[in-house]
Structure 1
Amino acid sequence: MSTYTLRFPGSGTIIEEAILKGREEGRRKVRAEDILRVLRVRGVEVSDAVRERVSSCGDLEVLGTWLDRAVTVGSAGELFVESAGA
């Protein structure tokens, strides 16, 4: 059985690269916003420095780790503390 690959006129071009880059940037922005939202909803105070560090992070994996930690940390600064087992 053959598989069908969707191709649009800009596929494989700089246009597609720009679209993919935009999607990736959008995912990073939403994840950073989610981290800050979880902290806010939990009543954890977030300094401008923490807000800037989270918002400027470009690594989805790191943001994912911080999102996981945001659920349980006692202070916003604890997002960035590596666990002893890591």
Structure 2
Amino acid sequence: MTYPYQGAYAESLLAEGRAEGRAESRALGMAEALLKFLDIQGIAVPEEARERVLGCRDEAVLDDWLGRSVTAKSVEDVFG
């Protein structure tokens, strides 16, 4: 929605904010999925590791951790 006082710059900032919000949501979803997967496998996740996972917003890093979690025997295996 464009208001009369908003120009292209304001619109680009709004679009950027929406994109950042979507990326943040994807990263949080990946982090939660990783923790759930580890829980299902019976791998204990200490609070420090849980905070590290939930605090990560880098989708590439989370994707790497998810890949490692498939063969992990401990949370340390995930962080490699």
What's the TM-score bracket when you normalise by the shorter of the two chains? 0.7 to 0.9
List, as ranges, runs of 4+ consecutive aligned residues in structure 1 with deviation greater than 2 Å: 8-12
Paired residue for 2:30? 31
Paired residue for 1:65? 64
Higher helix share: 2
Figure out how many residues of one structure are paired with residues of the other and give that number: 74
Paired residue for 2:46? 47
Q: Which runs of 5+ in 2 are unaligned?
A: none
Letter in 2 for 1:42: Q
Deviation at 1:13, TM superposition (A): 1.5
Deviations 1:44-82 (A, max 9, x none): 11100110111111211010000011111000121111x
Deviations 1:10-57 (A, max 9, x none): 985211111100000001000000110100011111100110111111
Letter in 1 for 2:42: G
Identity of aligned residues (%): 35
Q: Which runs of 5+ in 1 are unaligned?
A: 1-7, 82-86
What is the TM-score of this pair, normalised by structure 1?
0.78
SS at match of 1:58: coil
What is the TM-score of this pair, normalised by structure 2?
0.83
